[in-house]
Amino acid sequence: MDSLITAAARALALGDALGALNHIALRNDAPALALRGIAMAQLGDLDRAKMLLRRAALAFGPREAVARARCVVAEAEIALVSRDLNWPVRALEAAQVVLEKHGDRTNAAHARYLAIRRLLLIGRLDAAERLLAGFDSAPLLPASRAGHELVIGGIAIRRLQIKAARAALALAGHAAHQARIPSLTTEVEGAACILDTPAARLIARGNERLLRLDEIESLLTSKALVVDACRRAVCHAGGLILLETRPVLFALARALAEAWPDDTSRSTLLARAFRAKHADESHRARLRVEIGRLRKALVTVAGIDATEDGFASCRSAPATWSCSPRRQMKRMRRCSLCLRTAKRGQVRRWLWRSAQARAPCNAHSTI
């Protein structure tokens, strides 16, 4: 490798793309094309950078497998920056294997870091954490190590593990300072600002206030019953009841939670859940059905009581009552879901016991 190529590579390592181009701008050999592509990527011309790297990969001979693998890794990083997440992952995996086989631990670790970062961007957090579990970041250069810590911080933020996110972003800032790349330092500082920026709105007892990520984490891990409009779920003590596939139930839960501890009128619930401006008996019947389904979905964390004007949610699950088949007291008609022995209108005699049941009934009884 000649002195101009070495000088250009050192300039690129320091983030000086223009200084690198001063050495190799007029050269068309394979190493110069690769370095020109990396320089154009640092300047923001990603399309030209891809074209130069592909030309460099073709220009390298069959015996220069390591150089071709490095071009593949560089092209994958450009695709990642441009959010082109459909680039072939197998090519990156093959390049990583070649680099590890030939002892290039630094670029092999960088290739694995890019794979982890891609998984983070497409939302596959579990797969990203599995790759991170056995990943050694020691061979990474300071710039790549800063990106690695940014990935760890991004996963922690998405998991609402704010303490771990702050620690990772602090390490990323230290690595960016060592790399002496201003754009990387700015990126780390921007990611750290997310932790202190309001990220949600809390509505409780008719009042609203903004919450930071650490306050959201404390709220969701507390014993408070939270209706999460972001994930369309109901959270309680770290547990999660997903309602994303049941929009009517979520609309009812949100309306009841916003009005708590007061009740919500039936007209309001009909408007929020069914967008009904003029409710008739069919709407009210459907509302009763959906409220019953919501009761069943939230039976372990909350209850819903009927009031004179509508419905109200209560903090904990209401007491459940059982029916005892004794031929005493007054008659009670049970719904068909509970009474499996009733046929053709025949009703057995039941005793209503005013003691809390050990196990909840499967359906509601009517007198």
Q: Which DSSP symbol is given to 103?
A: T
Closest C-alpha to 269, from 316, 320, 304: 304
Do residues 279 and 267 lie in contact, with contact meaning Cβ atoms separated by under 8 Å? yes
Report the interhelical angle of 30-43 vs 65-81 (nearest 10°).
10
Please tell me the predicted confidence (pLDDT) of residue 261: 80
Report the interhelical angle of 281-297 vs 266-274 (nearest 10°).
80
pLDDT at 88 over 60: yes
Strand intervals (E) in 231-290: 233-236, 239-242, 264-265
pLDDT at 325 over 70: no
Rounded CA separation 250/230 (Å): 11
- Distance set, CA 220 to CA 181, 214, 261 (Å): 38, 10, 19
Please tell me the predicted confidence (pLDDT) of residue 207: 81
The residues that bridge with 365 in the sheet, in sequence order, are: 334
Quick count: other Cβ atoms within 10 Å of Cβ 113? 22
- Where is average pLDDT lowest: 54-63, 215-224, 275-284? 275-284
pLDDT at 215 over 50: yes
Task: Name the pTM for this structure.
Answer: 0.68
Please tell me the predicted confidence (pLDDT) of residue 155: 92
pLDDT at 355 over 90: no
pLDDT band, very low/low/confident/very high, at 202 (cuts 50, 70, 90) = confident
pLDDT at 330 over 80: no
Do residues 273 and 290 lie in contact, with contact meaning Cβ atoms separated by under 8 Å? yes
Please tell me the predicted confidence (pLDDT) of residue 1: 56
Q: What is the mean pLDDT of the chain?
A: 79
Please tell me the predicted confidence (pLDDT) of residue 276: 73
Q: What mean pLDDT comes out for the span 10-25? A: 84
Q: What mean pLDDT comes out for the span 243-248? A: 87
Do residues 92 and 79 lie in contact, with contact meaning Cβ atoms separated by under 8 Å? no
pLDDT band, very low/low/confident/very high, at 245 (cuts 50, 70, 90) = confident
Do residues 166 and 195 lie in contact, with contact meaning Cβ atoms separated by under 8 Å? yes
Question: 3-class DSSP state for residue 352?
Answer: strand
Q: What mean pLDDT comes out for the span 142-154? A: 89
Please tell me the predicted confidence (pLDDT) of residue 237: 76
